[in-house]
Chain A
Amino acid sequence: MSAYKEIAWNGIWKQNSILAQLLGLCPLLAISTNFVNATSLGLATILVMMLSNFGISALRAFIPYEIRIPVFILIIAALVTVVDLLFNAFLHDMYLVLGIFIPLIVTNCIVLARVEAFAAKNGLRAATFDGLMMGIGFVWVIALLGAVRELVGQGTLFSGIEMIFPTLSGIQVLPEGYPGFLIAILPPGAFFVLGLLIAGRNWLDARANQRMREQRIHHQAEHPTDHPSSAPA
Protein backbone atom coordinates (compact mmCIF):
# COMPACT_ATOMS: atom_id res chain seq x y z
CA MET A 1 0.00 0.00 0.00
CA SER A 2 1.36 3.40 -0.90
CA ALA A 3 1.77 5.98 1.88
CA TYR A 4 -1.21 8.04 0.73
CA LYS A 5 -3.45 5.02 0.34
CA GLU A 6 -2.55 4.03 3.87
CA ILE A 7 -3.36 7.53 5.20
CA ALA A 8 -6.74 7.36 3.47
CA TRP A 9 -7.52 3.84 4.74
CA ASN A 10 -6.50 4.82 8.28
CA GLY A 11 -8.62 7.95 8.28
CA ILE A 12 -11.74 6.47 6.78
CA TRP A 13 -11.78 3.04 8.40
CA LYS A 14 -8.86 1.51 10.30
CA GLN A 15 -8.03 4.43 12.63
CA ASN A 16 -11.41 6.13 12.20
CA SER A 17 -11.53 8.97 14.71
CA ILE A 18 -14.92 7.94 16.08
CA LEU A 19 -15.29 4.22 15.47
CA ALA A 20 -11.74 3.19 16.34
CA GLN A 21 -10.27 5.99 18.44
CA LEU A 22 -13.49 7.25 20.06
CA LEU A 23 -12.18 10.81 19.94
CA GLY A 24 -14.21 13.99 19.72
CA LEU A 25 -17.31 12.51 21.31
CA CYS A 26 -18.44 15.80 22.86
CA PRO A 27 -19.36 17.64 19.63
CA LEU A 28 -20.27 14.32 18.03
CA LEU A 29 -22.98 13.47 20.53
CA ALA A 30 -24.23 17.04 20.92
CA ILE A 31 -24.72 17.83 17.23
CA SER A 32 -25.76 14.51 15.67
CA THR A 33 -29.48 15.01 16.33
CA ASN A 34 -30.19 15.21 12.62
CA PHE A 35 -28.44 14.62 9.33
CA VAL A 36 -28.04 18.24 8.21
CA ASN A 37 -26.57 19.52 11.48
CA ALA A 38 -24.24 16.53 11.72
CA THR A 39 -22.95 16.91 8.16
CA SER A 40 -22.50 20.66 8.58
CA LEU A 41 -20.36 20.17 11.67
CA GLY A 42 -18.43 17.44 9.87
CA LEU A 43 -17.63 19.66 6.88
CA ALA A 44 -16.47 22.48 9.13
CA THR A 45 -14.29 19.97 10.98
CA ILE A 46 -12.63 18.82 7.74
CA LEU A 47 -11.70 22.41 6.96
CA VAL A 48 -10.22 23.03 10.40
CA MET A 49 -8.34 19.72 10.45
CA MET A 50 -6.74 20.40 7.06
CA LEU A 51 -5.75 23.91 8.09
CA SER A 52 -4.35 22.94 11.48
CA ASN A 53 -2.46 19.94 10.11
CA PHE A 54 -1.06 22.16 7.36
CA GLY A 55 -0.13 24.98 9.74
CA ILE A 56 1.55 22.78 12.31
CA SER A 57 3.37 20.70 9.75
CA ALA A 58 4.72 23.95 8.28
CA LEU A 59 5.82 25.28 11.68
CA ARG A 60 6.96 22.01 13.22
CA ALA A 61 10.66 22.88 13.04
CA PHE A 62 10.11 25.90 15.29
CA ILE A 63 8.06 24.21 18.01
CA PRO A 64 10.14 22.92 20.97
CA TYR A 65 9.03 19.46 22.09
CA GLU A 66 8.41 20.52 25.73
CA ILE A 67 5.82 23.17 24.91
CA ARG A 68 4.30 21.56 21.83
CA ILE A 69 0.84 21.00 23.38
CA PRO A 70 0.20 24.65 24.39
CA VAL A 71 1.53 25.80 21.03
CA PHE A 72 -0.70 23.32 19.17
CA ILE A 73 -3.77 24.46 21.10
CA LEU A 74 -2.85 28.08 20.50
CA ILE A 75 -2.52 27.50 16.76
CA ILE A 76 -5.72 25.43 16.49
CA ALA A 77 -7.76 27.95 18.49
CA ALA A 78 -6.37 30.87 16.45
CA LEU A 79 -7.14 29.10 13.16
CA VAL A 80 -10.67 28.26 14.27
CA THR A 81 -11.24 31.90 15.23
CA VAL A 82 -9.93 33.07 11.88
CA VAL A 83 -12.14 30.57 10.01
CA ASP A 84 -15.11 31.72 12.09
CA LEU A 85 -14.49 35.39 11.27
CA LEU A 86 -13.87 34.74 7.56
CA PHE A 87 -17.05 32.68 7.26
CA ASN A 88 -19.00 35.41 8.99
CA ALA A 89 -17.63 38.07 6.65
CA PHE A 90 -17.55 36.35 3.26
CA LEU A 91 -19.96 33.41 3.42
CA HIS A 92 -22.58 34.83 5.66
CA ASP A 93 -25.46 32.59 4.55
CA MET A 94 -23.39 29.52 5.26
CA TYR A 95 -22.21 31.07 8.50
CA LEU A 96 -25.80 31.29 9.72
CA VAL A 97 -25.97 27.51 9.43
CA LEU A 98 -22.44 26.47 10.37
CA GLY A 99 -21.63 29.43 12.60
CA ILE A 100 -22.67 27.91 15.88
CA PHE A 101 -20.67 24.76 15.14
CA ILE A 102 -17.34 26.31 14.24
CA PRO A 103 -16.27 27.36 17.78
CA LEU A 104 -17.27 23.87 18.94
CA ILE A 105 -14.54 22.36 16.80
CA VAL A 106 -11.89 23.58 19.26
CA THR A 107 -13.36 21.14 21.76
CA ASN A 108 -12.88 18.24 19.33
CA CYS A 109 -9.77 16.45 20.56
CA ILE A 110 -9.37 14.60 17.25
CA VAL A 111 -7.92 17.83 15.84
CA LEU A 112 -5.26 17.99 18.55
CA ALA A 113 -4.70 14.23 18.33
CA ARG A 114 -3.91 14.31 14.59
CA VAL A 115 -1.70 17.34 14.97
CA GLU A 116 0.27 15.61 17.71
CA ALA A 117 0.35 12.14 16.19
CA PHE A 118 0.80 13.00 12.53
CA ALA A 119 1.24 16.60 11.45
CA ALA A 120 4.10 17.29 13.88
CA LYS A 121 6.11 14.43 12.35
CA ASN A 122 5.23 14.58 8.65
CA GLY A 123 5.59 16.80 5.61
CA LEU A 124 3.12 19.41 4.43
CA ARG A 125 1.37 17.40 1.75
CA ALA A 126 0.99 14.21 3.77
CA ALA A 127 -0.20 16.17 6.83
CA THR A 128 -2.85 18.08 4.89
CA PHE A 129 -4.01 14.85 3.24
CA ASP A 130 -4.22 13.19 6.65
CA GLY A 131 -6.39 16.06 7.90
CA LEU A 132 -8.69 15.60 4.90
CA MET A 133 -8.98 11.84 5.32
CA MET A 134 -9.45 11.93 9.10
CA GLY A 135 -12.09 14.60 8.49
CA ILE A 136 -13.87 12.43 5.92
CA GLY A 137 -13.79 9.56 8.41
CA PHE A 138 -15.43 11.88 10.94
CA VAL A 139 -18.04 13.14 8.46
CA TRP A 140 -19.37 9.82 7.28
CA VAL A 141 -19.78 8.47 10.80
CA ILE A 142 -21.40 11.62 12.22
CA ALA A 143 -23.67 11.89 9.16
CA LEU A 144 -24.78 8.27 9.54
CA LEU A 145 -25.32 8.78 13.27
CA GLY A 146 -27.36 11.92 12.58
CA ALA A 147 -29.43 10.19 9.90
CA VAL A 148 -30.25 7.20 12.12
CA ARG A 149 -31.15 9.38 15.11
CA GLU A 150 -33.31 11.65 12.95
CA LEU A 151 -35.07 8.77 11.25
CA VAL A 152 -35.79 6.88 14.47
CA GLY A 153 -36.51 9.96 16.55
CA GLN A 154 -38.57 12.04 14.14
CA GLY A 155 -39.32 9.84 11.15
CA THR A 156 -37.71 12.36 8.78
CA LEU A 157 -34.48 12.70 6.84
CA PHE A 158 -32.63 15.85 5.74
CA SER A 159 -34.88 18.14 7.78
CA GLY A 160 -33.42 21.64 7.89
CA ILE A 161 -31.71 21.26 4.51
CA GLU A 162 -33.66 24.31 3.29
CA MET A 163 -31.33 26.41 5.42
CA ILE A 164 -28.44 25.36 3.14
CA PHE A 165 -30.26 24.76 -0.15
CA PRO A 166 -33.48 26.84 -0.07
CA THR A 167 -35.01 24.87 -2.96
CA LEU A 168 -34.82 21.51 -1.18
CA SER A 169 -36.82 20.32 1.76
CA GLY A 170 -36.68 17.45 4.22
CA ILE A 171 -38.33 14.10 3.52
CA GLN A 172 -40.96 12.52 5.73
CA VAL A 173 -39.79 8.90 5.55
CA LEU A 174 -42.03 7.27 8.13
CA PRO A 175 -45.82 7.89 8.02
CA GLU A 176 -47.05 11.34 9.02
CA GLY A 177 -48.59 10.00 12.22
CA TYR A 178 -45.28 8.56 13.50
CA PRO A 179 -45.23 9.61 17.15
CA GLY A 180 -41.45 9.99 17.28
CA PHE A 181 -39.06 8.15 19.53
CA LEU A 182 -37.75 10.78 21.87
CA ILE A 183 -34.83 8.90 23.36
CA ALA A 184 -33.11 8.71 19.95
CA ILE A 185 -32.90 12.49 19.87
CA LEU A 186 -31.86 12.93 23.49
CA PRO A 187 -28.22 12.30 24.47
CA PRO A 188 -28.71 8.65 25.56
CA GLY A 189 -29.89 7.87 22.03
CA ALA A 190 -26.58 9.11 20.70
CA PHE A 191 -24.74 6.59 22.87
CA PHE A 192 -27.03 3.74 21.83
CA VAL A 193 -26.65 4.44 18.11
CA LEU A 194 -22.90 5.04 18.44
CA GLY A 195 -22.58 1.74 20.30
CA LEU A 196 -24.43 -0.06 17.50
CA LEU A 197 -22.22 1.58 14.86
CA ILE A 198 -19.04 0.52 16.68
CA ALA A 199 -20.43 -3.00 17.08
CA GLY A 200 -21.21 -3.03 13.35
CA ARG A 201 -17.68 -1.98 12.49
CA ASN A 202 -16.18 -4.62 14.78
CA TRP A 203 -18.46 -7.25 13.24
CA LEU A 204 -17.39 -6.30 9.70
CA ASP A 205 -13.73 -6.38 10.71
CA ALA A 206 -14.12 -9.72 12.47
CA ARG A 207 -15.88 -11.17 9.43
CA ALA A 208 -13.15 -9.94 7.10
CA ASN A 209 -10.49 -11.49 9.36
CA GLN A 210 -12.41 -14.75 9.56
CA ARG A 211 -12.74 -14.91 5.81
CA MET A 212 -9.06 -14.24 5.35
CA ARG A 213 -8.21 -17.03 7.79
CA GLU A 214 -10.60 -19.45 6.08
CA GLN A 215 -9.10 -18.64 2.72
CA ARG A 216 -5.66 -19.40 4.05
CA ILE A 217 -6.79 -22.73 5.54
CA HIS A 218 -8.66 -23.57 2.35
CA HIS A 219 -5.63 -22.68 0.32
CA GLN A 220 -3.43 -24.91 2.48
CA ALA A 221 -5.92 -27.78 2.31
CA GLU A 222 -5.91 -27.70 -1.48
CA HIS A 223 -2.18 -27.28 -1.75
CA PRO A 224 -0.84 -28.88 1.46
CA THR A 225 2.76 -27.92 0.89
CA ASP A 226 2.45 -25.94 -2.28
CA HIS A 227 5.16 -28.08 -3.82
CA PRO A 228 4.64 -29.97 -7.10
CA SER A 229 6.80 -32.94 -6.06
CA SER A 230 4.55 -33.77 -3.09
CA ALA A 231 1.48 -34.27 -5.30
CA PRO A 232 0.43 -37.95 -5.53
CA ALA A 233 1.64 -39.57 -8.72
Chain B
Amino acid sequence: MSGPIEVAHRESSVLRISVRTAAILLAFTLVFTALMAGTYKATEPMVAASALAEKLRLIGEVLPPGQYDNDLMADAITLPPVPALALDDETRLWRARRNGVPVALVFEAAARDGYSGRIGLILAVNANGRLLALRVTSHKETPGLGDYIDPKKDKNKALPWIAQFSNMGFDSVPPKKWRVKKDGGRFDQMSGATISARAVTNASGRALAWAMENRDKLFALPPNSRFEEKEP
Protein backbone atom coordinates (compact mmCIF):
# COMPACT_ATOMS: atom_id res chain seq x y z
CA MET B 1 0.00 0.00 0.00
CA SER B 2 1.40 3.35 -0.93
CA GLY B 3 0.92 6.24 1.41
CA PRO B 4 -0.16 9.73 0.36
CA ILE B 5 3.40 10.99 0.39
CA GLU B 6 4.49 8.26 -1.97
CA VAL B 7 1.59 9.00 -4.40
CA ALA B 8 2.49 12.68 -4.41
CA HIS B 9 6.09 11.73 -5.05
CA ARG B 10 5.13 9.47 -7.96
CA GLU B 11 2.90 12.15 -9.49
CA SER B 12 5.63 14.72 -9.33
CA SER B 13 8.07 12.30 -10.97
CA VAL B 14 5.56 11.57 -13.78
CA LEU B 15 5.26 15.29 -14.33
CA ARG B 16 9.03 15.67 -14.26
CA ILE B 17 9.52 12.92 -16.83
CA SER B 18 6.85 14.40 -19.14
CA VAL B 19 8.38 17.85 -18.98
CA ARG B 20 11.84 16.43 -19.55
CA THR B 21 10.69 14.36 -22.57
CA ALA B 22 8.86 17.32 -24.05
CA ALA B 23 11.94 19.49 -23.58
CA ILE B 24 14.11 16.92 -25.35
CA LEU B 25 11.66 16.73 -28.27
CA LEU B 26 11.62 20.52 -28.42
CA ALA B 27 15.42 20.61 -28.42
CA PHE B 28 15.58 18.12 -31.30
CA THR B 29 12.99 20.11 -33.23
CA LEU B 30 14.93 23.33 -32.74
CA VAL B 31 18.28 21.83 -33.69
CA PHE B 32 17.01 20.16 -36.86
CA THR B 33 14.88 23.11 -37.91
CA ALA B 34 17.99 25.26 -37.52
CA LEU B 35 19.94 22.75 -39.63
CA MET B 36 17.32 22.94 -42.40
CA ALA B 37 17.03 26.72 -42.20
CA GLY B 38 20.82 27.08 -42.30
CA THR B 39 21.13 24.81 -45.33
CA TYR B 40 18.31 26.68 -47.04
CA LYS B 41 19.97 30.05 -46.43
CA ALA B 42 23.38 28.79 -47.50
CA THR B 43 22.12 27.23 -50.74
CA GLU B 44 19.55 29.89 -51.62
CA PRO B 45 21.69 31.94 -54.05
CA MET B 46 22.90 28.81 -55.87
CA VAL B 47 19.39 27.37 -56.10
CA ALA B 48 18.07 30.67 -57.46
CA ALA B 49 20.90 30.80 -60.01
CA SER B 50 20.15 27.27 -61.22
CA ALA B 51 16.44 28.04 -61.43
CA LEU B 52 17.25 31.05 -63.61
CA ALA B 53 19.60 29.01 -65.79
CA GLU B 54 16.88 26.40 -66.16
CA LYS B 55 14.38 29.09 -67.22
CA LEU B 56 16.84 30.47 -69.79
CA ARG B 57 17.46 26.98 -71.13
CA LEU B 58 13.73 26.41 -71.53
CA ILE B 59 13.25 29.78 -73.23
CA GLY B 60 16.16 28.90 -75.50
CA GLU B 61 14.35 25.75 -76.59
CA VAL B 62 11.35 27.66 -77.89
CA LEU B 63 13.17 30.81 -79.01
CA PRO B 64 16.78 30.59 -80.27
CA PRO B 65 18.91 33.32 -78.62
CA GLY B 66 20.05 34.62 -82.03
CA GLN B 67 16.60 35.88 -82.93
CA TYR B 68 16.51 38.79 -80.48
CA ASP B 69 18.95 41.32 -79.08
CA ASN B 70 17.24 42.65 -75.95
CA ASP B 71 17.72 41.48 -72.36
CA LEU B 72 14.82 39.07 -71.98
CA MET B 73 15.07 38.91 -68.21
CA ALA B 74 14.71 42.70 -67.96
CA ASP B 75 11.98 42.98 -70.60
CA ALA B 76 9.39 40.91 -68.81
CA ILE B 77 5.96 41.54 -67.36
CA THR B 78 4.00 39.72 -64.69
CA LEU B 79 0.95 37.71 -65.65
CA PRO B 80 -1.82 37.12 -63.14
CA PRO B 81 -3.40 33.63 -63.18
CA VAL B 82 -5.02 34.03 -66.63
CA PRO B 83 -7.92 31.56 -67.11
CA ALA B 84 -7.15 31.09 -70.83
CA LEU B 85 -3.67 29.82 -69.93
CA ALA B 86 -4.99 27.66 -67.07
CA LEU B 87 -2.36 29.05 -64.75
CA ASP B 88 -2.70 28.82 -60.98
CA ASP B 89 0.02 31.28 -60.00
CA GLU B 90 1.56 34.46 -61.24
CA THR B 91 4.07 33.87 -64.02
CA ARG B 92 6.40 35.98 -66.15
CA LEU B 93 5.97 36.77 -69.79
CA TRP B 94 9.16 37.65 -71.69
CA ARG B 95 9.19 39.90 -74.74
CA ALA B 96 11.85 39.38 -77.37
CA ARG B 97 12.71 42.31 -79.59
CA ARG B 98 15.28 43.00 -82.28
CA ASN B 99 16.36 46.62 -82.77
CA GLY B 100 13.33 47.54 -80.68
CA VAL B 101 10.92 45.74 -83.05
CA PRO B 102 8.73 43.04 -81.41
CA VAL B 103 9.89 39.53 -82.32
CA ALA B 104 8.08 37.14 -80.02
CA LEU B 105 6.30 36.59 -76.74
CA VAL B 106 7.51 33.76 -74.52
CA PHE B 107 5.20 32.58 -71.76
CA GLU B 108 3.99 29.58 -69.85
CA ALA B 109 0.63 27.87 -70.04
CA ALA B 110 -0.87 24.65 -68.75
CA ALA B 111 -3.31 21.92 -69.65
CA ARG B 112 -5.37 20.75 -66.70
CA ASP B 113 -6.84 17.77 -68.53
CA GLY B 114 -3.80 15.55 -69.00
CA TYR B 115 -4.14 11.83 -68.34
CA SER B 116 -2.48 12.29 -64.93
CA GLY B 117 -3.17 15.88 -64.08
CA ARG B 118 -1.50 19.08 -65.06
CA ILE B 119 0.82 19.43 -68.05
CA GLY B 120 3.02 22.54 -67.97
CA LEU B 121 3.91 24.18 -71.28
CA ILE B 122 6.16 26.98 -72.46
CA LEU B 123 5.59 28.57 -75.83
CA ALA B 124 6.91 31.32 -78.05
CA VAL B 125 4.47 33.21 -80.26
CA ASN B 126 5.99 35.51 -82.85
CA ALA B 127 4.74 38.98 -83.74
CA ASN B 128 2.79 37.60 -86.71
CA GLY B 129 0.78 35.29 -84.48
CA ARG B 130 2.60 32.08 -85.31
CA LEU B 131 3.55 29.56 -82.68
CA LEU B 132 7.34 29.41 -83.03
CA ALA B 133 7.73 26.38 -80.79
CA LEU B 134 6.05 24.58 -77.94
CA ARG B 135 7.66 22.52 -75.17
CA VAL B 136 6.38 20.57 -72.20
CA THR B 137 7.98 21.78 -68.97
CA SER B 138 6.35 19.38 -66.53
CA HIS B 139 3.98 16.42 -66.77
CA LYS B 140 3.06 13.16 -65.09
CA GLU B 141 1.81 11.27 -68.14
CA THR B 142 2.29 7.50 -68.24
CA PRO B 143 5.93 6.64 -69.00
CA GLY B 144 6.30 4.94 -72.34
CA LEU B 145 2.77 5.80 -73.35
CA GLY B 146 1.69 9.41 -72.96
CA ASP B 147 5.12 10.88 -72.31
CA TYR B 148 5.93 11.31 -76.01
CA ILE B 149 4.61 14.87 -75.60
CA ASP B 150 8.08 15.55 -74.11
CA PRO B 151 10.61 15.34 -76.98
CA LYS B 152 13.22 13.90 -74.58
CA LYS B 153 10.98 10.84 -74.18
CA ASP B 154 9.72 10.75 -77.76
CA LYS B 155 11.05 7.72 -79.64
CA ASN B 156 10.97 9.66 -82.88
CA LYS B 157 14.08 11.78 -82.32
CA ALA B 158 14.28 13.21 -85.83
CA LEU B 159 10.76 14.61 -85.83
CA PRO B 160 9.28 14.48 -82.35
CA TRP B 161 5.50 14.73 -82.01
CA ILE B 162 5.60 18.19 -80.50
CA ALA B 163 7.56 19.60 -83.46
CA GLN B 164 4.41 19.57 -85.61
CA PHE B 165 3.31 22.74 -83.80
CA SER B 166 6.44 24.65 -84.81
CA ASN B 167 5.69 27.64 -87.01
CA MET B 168 1.96 26.96 -87.02
CA GLY B 169 -0.58 29.74 -86.73
CA PHE B 170 -4.28 30.24 -87.15
CA ASP B 171 -3.55 31.41 -90.72
CA SER B 172 -2.24 27.93 -91.59
CA VAL B 173 -4.45 25.87 -89.27
CA PRO B 174 -7.82 27.52 -88.55
CA PRO B 175 -8.91 27.53 -84.88
CA LYS B 176 -11.58 24.92 -85.59
CA LYS B 177 -8.92 22.55 -86.94
CA TRP B 178 -6.52 23.17 -84.03
CA ARG B 179 -7.33 19.76 -82.58
CA VAL B 180 -5.98 16.23 -82.78
CA LYS B 181 -7.04 14.20 -85.80
CA LYS B 182 -9.25 11.98 -83.66
CA ASP B 183 -11.32 15.08 -82.85
CA GLY B 184 -11.48 16.09 -86.50
CA GLY B 185 -8.46 18.37 -86.36
CA ARG B 186 -5.14 18.72 -88.13
CA PHE B 187 -2.63 17.36 -85.56
CA ASP B 188 -1.45 13.78 -85.18
CA GLN B 189 -1.79 11.78 -82.01
CA MET B 190 -0.32 8.41 -81.04
CA SER B 191 -2.93 5.69 -80.93
CA GLY B 192 -3.64 4.54 -77.40
CA ALA B 193 -2.53 7.83 -75.88
CA THR B 194 -4.88 10.42 -77.28
CA ILE B 195 -5.65 12.17 -74.02
CA SER B 196 -2.14 13.56 -73.51
CA ALA B 197 -1.95 14.79 -77.12
CA ARG B 198 -5.45 16.27 -76.98
CA ALA B 199 -4.65 18.14 -73.74
CA VAL B 200 -1.47 19.67 -75.17
CA THR B 201 -3.07 20.52 -78.52
CA ASN B 202 -6.12 22.20 -77.02
CA ALA B 203 -4.05 24.09 -74.41
CA SER B 204 -1.68 25.39 -77.09
CA GLY B 205 -4.64 26.53 -79.19
CA ARG B 206 -6.15 28.40 -76.24
CA ALA B 207 -2.80 29.98 -75.40
CA LEU B 208 -2.21 31.05 -79.01
CA ALA B 209 -5.68 32.61 -79.25
CA TRP B 210 -5.06 34.49 -76.01
CA ALA B 211 -1.66 35.74 -77.18
CA MET B 212 -3.06 36.95 -80.50
CA GLU B 213 -5.93 38.74 -78.82
CA ASN B 214 -3.66 40.57 -76.37
CA ARG B 215 -0.55 40.84 -78.54
CA ASP B 216 -0.33 44.62 -78.93
CA LYS B 217 -1.00 45.27 -75.27
CA LEU B 218 1.48 42.63 -74.15
CA PHE B 219 4.27 44.16 -76.23
CA ALA B 220 3.37 47.72 -75.21
CA LEU B 221 3.26 47.35 -71.41
CA PRO B 222 6.29 48.85 -69.64
CA PRO B 223 8.83 46.32 -68.30
CA ASN B 224 8.05 44.78 -64.92
CA SER B 225 4.47 45.97 -64.98
CA ARG B 226 1.53 43.72 -64.43
CA PHE B 227 -0.86 42.58 -67.11
CA GLU B 228 -4.54 42.95 -66.23
CA GLU B 229 -7.11 40.96 -68.13
CA LYS B 230 -9.63 43.78 -68.33
CA GLU B 231 -8.95 47.50 -68.55
CA PRO B 232 -10.15 49.29 -65.40
Contacts and interface: CB of A to CB of B under 8 A. Distances in A.
For the complex, would chain B's binding face be called helix, strand, loop or mixed by DSSP majority?
Answer: helix
Interface stretch (A73-81, A120-128, A220-228): A73-81
Given A78-B32, A89-B47, A163-B152, A33 B143 contact: yes
B144 A180 contact: yes
A92 interface: yes
A160 B54 CA distance: 19
B192 A182 contact: yes
A86 B144 contact: no
Interface centre among A85, A90, A160 (most CB of B within 10 A): A85
Contacts of B53: 92
A37 interface: yes
Contact of B145 (A90, A96, A180): A180
Interface string B142-158: 11110000001100000
Nearest to A83: B39
B21 A33 contact: no
Nearest to B157: A169
A68 to B, nearest CB: 10
B50 interface: yes
Contact of A74 (B29, B39, B152, B192): B29
Contacts of B144: 33-34, 150, 153-154, 156, 159, 180, 185
B84 to A, nearest CB: 28
A66 B29 CA distance: 16
A33 to B, nearest CB: 4
Contacts of A153: 144
Contact of B35 (A67, A78, A88, A154): A78
A86 B44 CA distance: 10
Nearest to B50: A92
B52 to A, nearest CB: 11
A186 B47 CA distance: 34
Contacts of A33: 143-144
A20 B112 CA distance: 40
Given A82-B35, A88-B47, A185-B145, A71 B28 contact: yes
A70 B28 CA distance: 10
A81 B192 CA distance: 38
A64 interface: yes
Contact of A64 (B24, B29, B54, B145): B24
Which range contains the number of A residues in contact with the other chain? 35 or more
Contacts of A165: none
Interface string A23-44: 0000000000110010000000
B16 to A, nearest CB: 13
Given A90-B46, A154-B144, A163-B152, A81 B24 contact: no
B43 A89 contact: yes
A33 B140 CA distance: 12
Interface string A53-72: 00000000011101100110
A85 B142 CA distance: 28
Contacts of B21: 64, 66-67
Contacts of A66: 21
A163 B151 CA distance: 12
Contact of A185 (B29, B32, B142): B142
A37 B98 CA distance: 42
A88 B39 contact: no
10 closest Cβ contacts across the A-B interface? A89-B43, A89-B46, A78-B32, A154-B144, A92-B50, A33-B143, A82-B39, A85-B43, A85-B39, A88-B47
Interface of A: 33-34, 37, 62-64, 66-67, 70-71, 74-75, 78, 81-82, 85-86, 88-90, 92, 95-96, 150, 153-154, 156, 159-160, 162-163, 180, 182, 185-186
25 contacts: A33-B144, A37-B143, A63-B24, A64-B24, A67-B25, A70-B25, A71-B24, A78-B32, A78-B35, A82-B36, A85-B36, A86-B39, A89-B47, A89-B50, A90-B43, A92-B50, A95-B50, A154-B144, A159-B144, A159-B153, A162-B152, A180-B144, A180-B192, A185-B142, A186-B142
